[in-house]
Amino acid sequence: MINLHNISKTYGNKTKVLKDVSLAIKPGEFVSIVGQSGAGKTTLVRILIGEEQVNEGRVVIGDWDITKINRREVPYLRRQIGVIFQDFKLLPKKTLEENVAFALQVSGGRPDKIKKIVPSVLKIVGLEDKKKRYPGEVSGGEEQRVAIARALVHQPKILLADEPTGNLDAINANEIIDLLLRINKFGTTVILVTHNKEIVNRLNKRVITMEQGQIIGDREHGKYLL
What CATH number should be reported for the domain holding residue 169?
3.40.50.300
Helix H or strand E encompassing 203: helix 197-203
Q: What is the pLDDT of residue 192?
A: 97
The pLDDT value recorded for residue 11 is 87
How far apart are the C-alpha atoms of 109 and 126, rounded to whole Å?
23
Is 119 contained in some domain?
Answer: no
pLDDT on residue 52: 92
pTM, whole model, 2 decimals? Answer: 0.92
Integer angstrom CA distances of residue 133 from 98, 136, 192, 196? 10, 8, 28, 30
Interatomic CA distance for residues 91 and 97, integer angstroms: 11
Residue 107 lies in a domain: no
Segments of the chain with pLDDT less than 50: none
Q: Is residue 8 part of a domain?
A: yes
Residue 98 lies in a domain: no
CA distance 221 to 219: 6
**Residue 215 bridge partners (DSSP):** 210
Is 125 among the domain residues?
A: no
With a CB cutoff of 8 Å and minimum separation 6, the contacts of 217 are: 207, 208, 209, 225
In a domain, 47, yes or no: yes
Q: Write the pLDDT tens digit of every residue in 111-162.
A: 999 999 999 999 999 999 999 999 999 999 999 999 999 999 999 999 999 9
CB 209, CB 217: distance < 8 Å: yes
Residue 144 domain-assigned (yes or no): no
- The alpha carbon of 120 is separated from its chain's Cα centroid by a whole number of angstroms, namely 20
Residue 132 lies in a domain: no
Under DSSP, is residue 178 helix (H, G, I), strand (E, B) or coil? helix
Q: How far is C-alpha 71 from the geometric centre of its chain's CA atoms?
A: 20
Over the chain, what is the mean pLDDT?
93
| Domain range enclosing 169 | 2-90+157-219
- Rounded CA-CA distance 224/134 in Å is 36
Q: What is the pLDDT of residue 208?
A: 96
For residues 97 and 118, the answer to whether their CB atoms sit within 8 Å is yes
Domains identified in the chain, total number: 1
Model pLDDT, residue 58: 97
Q: What are phi and psi of 157, to 5 degrees?
A: -80, -25
For residue 36, which amino acid is it?
Answer: Q
